[in-house]
Structure 1
């Protein structure tokens, strides 16, 4: 049974290392890591109370961006399926799937199967994408990607719903009378929308079940949370909604090495006190990340967070 995200409390998840290795955040040890290390990290998350593990999505990176982004981007469906088979409770998040690169029925087939095989643990995170050459190589619409994403989310709502023969009629996609099984185990697969631009915030508010901000600092979050609430109220949307954030890099304890100026480190109670500020803003899930020099140090950090920090997040 999939874990819920209780309203009024703060949950925590992690975007896994190794599966994406942009120079903006990858640690040196990740370059030589692979399936065994990913498995260790997923199992650690599963037993340490993490709400989800997450995987990114890029199909191909052009030369002009490879220096910063690298070309290491594991496929999210394949990766999350592998990790689903060796975990029991942790949810599986695409953060984010660039769903405009593929027909909605293809995306629905892949992620419905993942949800079915994992016992209803999928959270589908979606985003517009930003790599022009990737879109062009796949015959996708880069200039119109925002509008494409809007319609794709609508199409995915139908295609991931309970009906064996879903229907959608839009400007770009139309399907009916085409059956897809297996259906997702969840009655409603949560769709979290990524991005912090004005269109992304609007899309999250009006089409999503949650928001995955990208790069917002603490001081910027309250205004955007208020904006999403305003847009949802105006649209008459009263259901539950999960506000998220990506926390500053963390290190539980005193590191004894240079973990960077923005990293939060120290005693578990102090880290929890700092992270509770997000809960006060209305955030309900924080994506945590840790500085580390090896996979073993990272699993130790994750375990320490789950055992020593997490119990104080909702004090």
Structure 2
């Protein structure tokens, strides 16, 4: 099996838990690397609403700060925002954070981006929810210009820049951008402008909350992956589009045995998936490390 595995730092649901309940970030990251995971991820919730938290939402650390800390504690793990909401930030600030993290980690960063769906969070941050797609596309315009380290101008609907020179240049050229979501627009963006696709695999309720279509069965996913990659070829691209699948905490904590999980991983790989994200909804460093060690010895060795 050539799948690569991402450990998503556990998210504690509800308004009472704290983001570090699963254990200190450094210790968890070191344990994930030792267990054989290929990447480490954080999501982003800068201003979650109490109602959303009570309905199962979660808190997070700032993903760029947290991944910078992980970079200093590890040697091999790739660092992934899974995902950062591009419209929340001025794209110059987003580009600077990404380039800084890539430079400090010696080229281990992957920028996972989404359009966002939490209206209350957009309002709290002073960002127009109805403009989120336009803001997202402008970020995709600005990021590669910023990362070149050469003078550039940009005039968009929301941002204008004249004779900008931004350093540091990232180590990677480009920093991989993976885009999350299930819509046709998302898949088109991936084919034309990104290096990876992160479909949302949380079922109908999550898809409704996230304002995206429900991800279908694996056969349909395989067809969509093929369409994305053929779209990239039609756009003149020859690089491979990575595809990430979130296996989910519920599935990993189910009563299904290792053989069944291996079967699913094989099915995902056959469908065209390259990366699988897993996590664990448990508290305490000891339990988290136990999960990592068990997963590593069962599936990664």
TM range (shorter): 0.7 to 0.9
Gaps of 5+ in 2: 202-214
Alignment match of 1:280 (pick from 270, 274, 279): 270
Aligned partner of residue 299 in structure 2, secondary structure: helix
1:5 alignment partner in structure 2: none
User: 2-side partners of 1:63 and 1:142: how far apart?
Assistant: 19
Shift in Å at residue 56 of structure 1? 0.9
- 1:3 alignment partner in structure 2: none
Partner of 1:143: 130
Counterparts in 2 of 1:107 and 1:285: CA distance versus 1, 3 Å: same
Task: Tell me which residue corresponds to 1:65.
Answer: 52
Higher helix share: 2
User: 3-state DSSP class of the match of 1:301?
Assistant: helix
Unaligned runs of 5+ residues in structure 1 are 1-7, 253-258
Q: Distance in 1 between matches of 2:118 and 2:19?
A: 26
> Structure 1 residues 237 and 32, CA, compared in 2 at 3 Å: closer, same or farther?
closer
My pick for the range that moved more, 219-228 or 162-171, is: 162-171
Q: Aligned to 1:226, what secondary structure does the other structure show? A: helix
Matches for 1:210-289 after TM superposition, within 5 Å: 210-215=196-201, 216=215, 218-219=217-218, 220-249=220-249, 259=253, 263=254, 265-267=256-258, 269-289=259-279
Equivalenced residue count is: 287
Change in CA separation of 1:106 and 1:69 when aligned onto 2, cut-off 3 Å: farther
Over residues 138-173 of structure 1, what are the superposed CA-to-partner deviations in whole Å (9 max), with x where a residue is unaligned?
33221121122122112112212x324344343333
Greater shift, 112-121 or 172-181, is seen at 172-181
Normalising to structure 1: TM-score of the pair? 0.81
What RMSD, in angstroms, separates the aligned Cα atoms of the two structures? 2.6
- Name the residue aligned to 2:87: 100
TM-score by structure 2 length?
A: 0.85
Describe the shift of the 1:89–1:63 C-alpha distance in structure 2 as closer, same or farther (beyond 3 A). Answer: same
d(CA) in 2 for partners of 1:157 and 1:264? 45
* Structure-1 separation of matches of 2:169 and 2:24: 31
Q: Secondary structure at the match of 1:58?
A: coil
Distance 1:277 1:70, change over 3 A: closer
* Counterparts in 2 of 1:213 and 1:115: CA distance versus 1, 3 Å: same
CA distance in 1, matches of 2:190, 2:118: 21
Bigger Cα displacement from structure 2, 226-235 vs 47-56:
226-235
Measured in 2, the distance between the counterparts of 1:264 and 1:112 equals: 42
2:299 corresponds to? 309
In the alignment, which of 54, 60, 63 is matched to residue 76 of structure 1?
A: 63
